[in-house]
Amino acid sequence: MSDTKAVVFDLYGTLYDVHSVAQRCDASYPGRGMEISAMWRQKQLEYTWLRSLMGQYISFEQATYDALVYTCNALRLDLDKATCDVLCEAYLNLSPYPEVPAALRRLQDIGLPLAILSNGSVFSIDSVVKNSGLQACFLHLLSVERVGVFKPDPRVYAFACQALDLLPAQILFVSSNAWDASGARHFGFDVCWINRRDSTFDELGVAPSYVVRGLDELPEIILATSPARTAPD
């Protein structure tokens, strides 16, 4: 990691807990919150992959809406416009994982530029980051909207290199999504996989460079593998 010039993060499920929407779901459908959240997230991901394969890019907000409609239909839940608006709004107010704010500040103190590369739209990314009060942590908020295709298409990771004016080997990519970590690793990034739930990494022909259980472990790894960097006073 001695050549690392920037750290680039996935947003959904990596820095921010997508299942923080479960509480809002439970308020609308008592006792069904986590069930809705889990299916909603899975279909949201599937729709981004399928849309990319079909060459039919849509906004992340549209994919999120479509996945919610599917979920409620599949679970036989009535979904009116007001409830739909409230639940989709929850995706703009996701909670960061507990260790994330302090870990980001520590990474800033080490002196590495930080960026986000997300399947979210420019609007979605800006909203989530600003609503959590973490906008000062990042020099770049990069959206696949600029490319017109979703991760893990290699054009998205190439866009990060172009935006940061760095080579793949100079970027450390951080994701808790194994499919995303695999795509980034195939592209040529060093990859840190955040494995908060003791999950199994996908069999996609690559392995992450580093595995941590929380973002708070990353600063020490960077300091240990980058002799030129020193811990802040």
Q: How many CB atoms lie within 10 A of CB 126?
A: 15
Three-class DSSP category at 142: strand
Known catalytic residue: 17?
Answer: no
**Cα–Cα distance measured from residue 68 to residue 48, given in angstroms and rounded to the nearest whole number:** 13
**Cα–Cα distance measured from residue 71 to residue 132, given in angstroms and rounded to the nearest whole number:** 27
User: Which residue in the list 3, 10, 66, 180 is annotated as catalytic?
Assistant: 10
**Cα–Cα distance measured from residue 122 to residue 174, given in angstroms and rounded to the nearest whole number:** 19
Nearest to 154 by CA among 122, 188, 201: 188
Strand-pair category, 16-17 with 95-96: antiparallel
Catalytic residues: 10
